[in-house]
Amino acid sequence: MGRIADQITEIVVPITKAEKLKLVDVDYLKEGNEWVLRVFVENDEGELSISQCEKVSRMLSEQLDEKDPIDSSYVLEVSSPGLERPLKCEEDYLKHLDNLIKVSTFVNINGEKEFIGTLKAYKDDFITLSIKGEDNLINIPIDKIAKANLTVEF
């Protein structure tokens, strides 16, 4: 996570906790000519409302105006992580066992850097995937994962 995303995380976590929400991820990136600050939140029920997003957005906007951690103009977006939510921590992996996920790694594992499969286990800092169309399981060390998210098969 970049320096700006780390600073935003420190600002937004108390807000999400106060609203009984969980911070999923923070992205700060340039899209076209604009910088976009995206904050993804969820609740335990999985039914995040627009009014919850609006409330977090207002509260965060006030804090950002006060603390001013970003020195250029940007667009603030607060939303749910959606169907292809990122998996960031042990809790995320355990919550989504038996779901289809996509994993990108920093290094080759069995000659590959991208995997799509069913998440079968999280144990001892490894995830275990069952790759579609293959009978075997693959173990991927957590510290080798660049990005992991739920994925949808059409």
Write out the chain's pLDDT in tens, 154 residues. 568 889 999 999 999 999 999 999 999 999 999 999 999 999 887 778 999 999 999 999 999 999 989 988 999 999 998 889 999 899 999 999 999 999 999 999 989 999 999 999 999 999 999 997 667 899 999 999 999 999 988 7
Question: pTM here?
Answer: 0.79
Asked if residue 64 lies in contact with residue 49, where contact means CB atoms within 8 angstroms, the answer is no
- What distance in Å separates the CA atoms of residue 130 and residue 11, rounded to the nearest whole number? 38
CATH number for the domain whose boundaries are 90-150:
2.30.30.180
Architecture per CATH, 3-79 = 2-Layer Sandwich (3.30)
Q: What is the pLDDT of residue 2?
A: 65
Same fold, 3-79 and 90-150: no
Domain residue spans of the chain: 3-79, 90-150
DSSP string for residues in the chain: --HHHHHHHHHHHHHHHHTT-EEEEEEEEEETTEEEEEEEEE-TTS---HHHHHHHHHHHHHHHHHH----S--EEEEE---TT-B--SHHHHHHTTTSEEEEEEEEEETTEEEEEEEEEEEETTEEEEEETT-SSEEEEEGGGEEEEEE----
Q: Which two tokens stand for residue 48?
A: 């995040």
pLDDT at residue number 44: 80
What was the pLDDT predicted at 134? 67
